[in-house]
Amino acid sequence: MTTITFIHADNRSQTVEAEDGASIMLAALTHGVDGIVAECGGNAVCATCHVYVEEAWTTKLDPVTDDEDALLDGTAAERLPNSRLSCQIKVQPALAGLVVRIPDRQS
Partner 1 sequence: MNPTGLSPHAGVAPAIPHLAIDPFSYGFFDDPYPAHQEMREAGPVVYLDAWNVYGVARYAEVYAVFNDPLTFCSSRGVGLSDFAKEKPWRPPSLILEADPPAHTRTRAVLSKVLSPAVMKRLRDGFMAAAEAKVDELVARGSFDAIPDLAEGYPLSVFPDALGLKAEGRDHLIPYASLVFNAFGPPNELRQQAIERSAPHQAYVMEQCQRDNLAPGGFGACIHAFSDSGEITPAEAPLLVRSLLSAGLDTTVYGIGAAVYCLARFPDQWERLRADPSLARNAFEEAVRFESPVQTFFRTTTRDVELGGVTIPEGEKILMFLGAANRDPRRWEQPDSYDITRKVSGHVGFGSGIHMCVGQLVARLEGEAVLTALARKVGSITMSGEPKRRYNNTLRGLESLPVTFTPA
Q: Name which of 14 and 57 has its Cβ closer to partner 1.
A: 14
41 binds partner 1 (CB under 8 A): yes
Q: Name which of 47 and 102 has its Cβ closer to partner 1.
A: 47
Given a contact cutoff of 8 angstroms between Cβ atoms, the answer to whether 57 and 95 are in contact is yes
Q: Name which of 25 and 95 has its Cβ closer to partner 1.
A: 25
Residue of 45, 55, 56, 97 that binds partner 1 (CB under 8 A): 45
SS3 call for 8: coil
9 binds partner 1 (CB under 8 A): no
59 binds partner 1 (CB under 8 A): no
Q: What is the DSSP letter of 22?
A: S
DSSP 27-94: HHHHTT-TT---TTSSSSSS--SEEEE-HHHHTTSPPPPHHHHHHHTT-SSPP-TTEEEGGG-B--GG
Instruction: Give the interface with partner 1 as residue ranges (CB under 8 A).
Output: 29, 37-41, 43, 45-47, 67, 70-71, 73-75, 107
